[in-house]
Amino acid sequence: MPIILYIGLCIGLCGWINCAEPPESGIKRMITSLEPTHQSADMESATCECPNYMRKDTAPLRPQSTLPSGYFLFGGALKRGGLFGSRLSRFVPFLVPGTGGDYPVGVEIGDEGTWAVYFENKCKQIILIRPDGRHRTVVPARLDGLAFDRGERPRVGFLRDGPLNTEIFYLSSAHELRAVRVQFKEDAPPTFGNDRRLALLDNNWAFHPGVVFGPCVVGDRIFGQLVRHDGGIRVDYTGFVTLPNGGTGLASADNIYTYSVPIPTSAAGCAHALSHDGAYAVANANKFGGSCVPKRHNGFYMVPFFTDSHPPVDPYSEMIELYGESINWCPHEYRYGGCGVVDWMGWGFTNDNRYLTGRLGGRDPTNGIWLCEWEPNAWYPLTPRDSHIETCRPAAFIGPIEEILGDIETTSPVKHKSNSFVPIDPCDPGYEIIQPNTRDTLIVGDTLLVKVRSRRAGNATLYLTLQGGRYRYRLPTNGSTINPLIDSVHTFVVPDSVHCYDGSISTVSNYCGVMIQDYADCEFYDHSDESFVIASPSPLQVYGGPRIPY
């Protein structure tokens, strides 16, 4: 993801106006009408503490071994092909048979745990498959309205609790959301029925055509990032759309929930998810909510779904404050930096609505997949801290797995970092850092020599990484991006500090590196093999620099 987008997503607002008691557990009660579950505090009164449903002070890390029976799936790992999985209680990774040549972008698991669906990025198609690899089937879908050359990738998933039995929803263009009926059989490939429109937006509105930002659908409810074009100005923000006639009708811009105040600039929000009963919506906040809401991808908020008939509310001061069910902060150890550094995203509910899957991304060196039990705000790492597994939107199932997975753990195991069976992605430019790759020491003011190469032409950005990858700084090249086939050698003067968010940090560190990353697809990148040292010209001790306050 471009660094400009990361910065835009991280900008937040401050101020909280509510100190009310939280409601009873929300997922356990189905909403029939939306009424404020909290009372607004007097805006003229003295500042108050965060509400009790804000889970920030307590965010325990719990061992994976204590999780119930279940499994999870993920794709896009380690810049290589394949749909991978493991049981929940311990990480025993396996490759789903028949997917070694696929490049899954986002995955969802059906409520029974017996089928999974994902968008396959190499051949640009939607795939249904059993977790044991049986009956891999291409879903008939109309995807010709998507601009794949501009990085558009549709979010796909199961339309749960719908009026027409089982359907697969998908984004066919930035303005059109569709669903195709599917019938599953016990031991045979699925069969498909009619394909229908769910929503068609006019030219002033669009769905964000991305896996992380795109819409999800449950019953008659659509939730995701909407794009509004207002007088030539693009405004992105979290949107609620209601399908007419109990989910059988066609939604238009008239069915978009209207906030009580205009959204003058992009308020974005991302990683949208709906509970499997459609009652609750989860997202990263960006500008919505006050200072008690994590703004820099350090957690998520949960609110009821707002139908198009609900009275307008102010998303900046009322939506989460008056109707909020939960505000969950990530563990304390992962709250440094911003969303370009520690990036919690890819939320998705499990079938029992008790947990949310997500992934820790960004420049943090401990990328991986996590499970959050949202009511106690307990966090479970599903992959080892040193695995560096990068993925987009994982999914998990809670329940018995013996009949679902069979003996796949022994017949299709994966040794981490083994690429022997994986084909090269034809879309991967093959970026490689040639220099620096040794444990050298540079003094502030010295010249840093960077050499890069690639298999084919690319459009990439160079970064200086500090403190083991916790912070990164875009190196000033002749243009905003480089093509390593042409621009393979670059020199930079090592500064004493770099700008970072609203302040600066020292470059003096024992663990520095150089990173090259594709401008359009963040999955294509390379790091220095060995970290180097940047030292101060003064006799001061080398240190890592201060953490940025969250």
3-state secondary structure 18-74: CCCCCCCCCCCCCCCCCCCCCCCCCCCCCCCCCCCCEECCCCCECCHHHCCCEEEEE
Tell me the C-alpha to C-alpha distance, in Å, between residue 509 and each of 274, 465, 505, 535: 42, 10, 10, 7
Q: What are the residue ranges spanned by the domains of the chain?
A: 6-29+58-411, 432-535
What mean pLDDT do residues 501-527 have? 81
Q: Dihedral, CA atoms, 157, 93, 421, 135, nearest 10 degrees?
A: -40
Q: What is the percent of the chain with per-residue pLDDT over 70, rounded to a whole number?
A: 82
List phi, psi (to 5°) of 300. Answer: -145, 165
199 close to 220: Cβ distance less than 8 angstroms: no
What mean pLDDT do residues 467-478 have? 80
Rounded to an integer, what distance in angstroms lies between the CA atom of residue 238 and that of residue 267? 7
Which of 391, 295, 269 is CA-nearest to residue 12?
A: 295
The residues, ordered by sequence, that sit 6+ positions from 102 with a Cβ below 8 Å of its Cβ are: 75, 81, 82, 83, 118, 120, 122, 127
DSSP-assigned letter for residue 541:
P
> pLDDT class for 522, splitting at 50, 70, 90?
low
- Residue written as tokens 């939107």? 393
- Classify strands 156-159 and 167-171 as parallel, antiparallel or unpaired: antiparallel
The pLDDT, as a whole number, for residue 503 is 64
Residue type, 465: T
The pLDDT, as a whole number, for residue 474 is 87
**Greater pLDDT, 463 or 19:** 463
Chain centroid to Cα 108, Å, comes to 13
The pLDDT, as a whole number, for residue 276 is 97
Please work out, in degrees rounded to the nearest 5, the angle formed at the alpha carbon of residue 479 by the alpha carbons of 474 and 481.
Answer: 60
What mean pLDDT do residues 8-13 have? 32
> pLDDT class for 56, splitting at 50, 70, 90?
confident
> pLDDT class for 35, splitting at 50, 70, 90?
low
Chain centroid to Cα 172, Å, comes to 21
Asked if domains 6-29+58-411 and 432-535 share a fold, the reply is no
The pLDDT, as a whole number, for residue 41 is 37
The residues, ordered by sequence, that sit 6+ positions from 401 with a Cβ below 8 Å of its Cβ are: 69, 70, 71, 87, 113
Q: For the chain, give percent helix, strand, coil, nearest 5.
A: 10, 35, 55
19 close to 41: Cβ distance less than 8 angstroms: yes
Residue type, 216: C
What mean pLDDT do residues 345-352 have? 96
The pLDDT, as a whole number, for residue 466 is 87
- Classify strands 94-95 and 368-373 as parallel, antiparallel or unpaired: unpaired
**Greater pLDDT, 33 or 328:** 328
List phi, psi (to 5°) of 307. Answer: -75, 170
From 37-41, 221-225, 359-363, 388-392, the region with the lowest mean pLDDT: 37-41
Tell me the pLDDT tens digit for each residue of 448-465.
999 999 988 888 999 998
Chain centroid to Cα 180, Å, comes to 25
Assess whether pLDDT exceeds 90 at residue 167: yes
Chain centroid to Cα 494, Å, comes to 33
The pLDDT, as a whole number, for residue 210 is 85
Tell me the C-alpha to C-alpha distance, in Å, between residue 451 and each of 9, 67, 527, 534: 31, 46, 12, 18
Residue type, 475: L
- Residue 97: both structure tokens together: 């048979």
Please work out, in degrees rounded to the nearest 5, the angle formed at the alpha carbon of residue 476 by the alpha carbons of 473 and 479.
Answer: 125
Task: Please return the burial class of 478, using the count of CB atoms within 10 Å of its CB with bins 0-12, 13-18 and 19+.
Answer: exposed
Residue type, 264: P
Assess whether pLDDT exceeds 50 at residue 48: yes
The pLDDT, as a whole number, for residue 18 is 30
List phi, psi (to 5°) of 137. Answer: -135, 135
Q: How many other C-beta atoms can be found within 10 angstroms of the C-beta atom of residue 231? A: 5
**Greater pLDDT, 75 or 19:** 75
Task: Please return the burial class of 251, using the count of CB atoms within 10 Å of its CB with bins 0-12, 13-18 and 19+.
Answer: buried
pLDDT mean across residues, the chain? 82
Rounded to an integer, what distance in angstroms lies between the CA atom of residue 366 and that of residue 390? 10
The pLDDT, as a whole number, for residue 340 is 66
The pLDDT, as a whole number, for residue 79 is 56
Rounded to an integer, what distance in angstroms lies between the CA atom of residue 311 and that of residue 20? 21
290 close to 17: Cβ distance less than 8 angstroms: yes
The residues, ordered by sequence, that sit 6+ positions from 524 with a Cβ below 8 Å of its Cβ are: 79, 427, 428, 429, 431, 458, 460, 517, 518
The pLDDT, as a whole number, for residue 426 is 59
Tell me the pLDDT tens digit for each residue of 253-289.
999 999 999 887 777 788 999 999 999 999 998 888 7
363 close to 471: Cβ distance less than 8 angstroms: yes
The pLDDT, as a whole number, for residue 186 is 81
516 close to 498: Cβ distance less than 8 angstroms: no
Q: Which CATH superfamily is domain 6-29+58-411 in?
A: TolB, C-terminal domain (2.120.10.30)
The pLDDT, as a whole number, for residue 36 is 58
Tell me the pLDDT tens digit for each residue of 363-406.
666 778 999 999 999 999 999 876 777 788 999 999 999 999 98
What mean pLDDT do residues 350-355 have? 98
Assess whether pLDDT exceeds 60 at residue 47: no
Q: How many other C-beta atoms can be found within 10 angstroms of the C-beta atom of residue 33? A: 8
Assess whether pLDDT exceeds 70 at residue 548: no
What mean pLDDT do residues 486-514 have? 85
What mean pLDDT do residues 241-264 have? 94
- Residue 425: both structure tokens together: 């992605």
Q: Which of 8-17, 35-44, 317-326 has the highest mean pLDDT?
A: 317-326
- Classify strands 125-129 and 116-120 as parallel, antiparallel or unpaired: antiparallel
From 35-44, 220-229, 515-524, the region with the lowest mean pLDDT: 35-44
Which of 247, 216, 221, 242 is CA-nearest to residue 309?
A: 242
Tell me the pLDDT tens digit for each residue of 124-150.
999 999 999 999 999 999 998 887 777
**Greater pLDDT, 143 or 4:** 143
Assess whether pLDDT exceeds 50 at residue 299: yes
545 close to 506: Cβ distance less than 8 angstroms: yes
Rounded to an integer, what distance in angstroms lies between the CA atom of residue 292 and that of residue 51? 8
List phi, psi (to 5°) of 64. Answer: -60, -30
Assess whether pLDDT exceeds 80 at residue 223: yes
Assess whether pLDDT exceeds 90 at residue 248: yes
- Residue 536: both structure tokens together: 């101060």
Rounded to an integer, what distance in angstroms lies between the CA atom of residue 204 and that of residue 223? 18
Q: Domain spanning 432-535 has what CATH number?
A: 2.60.40
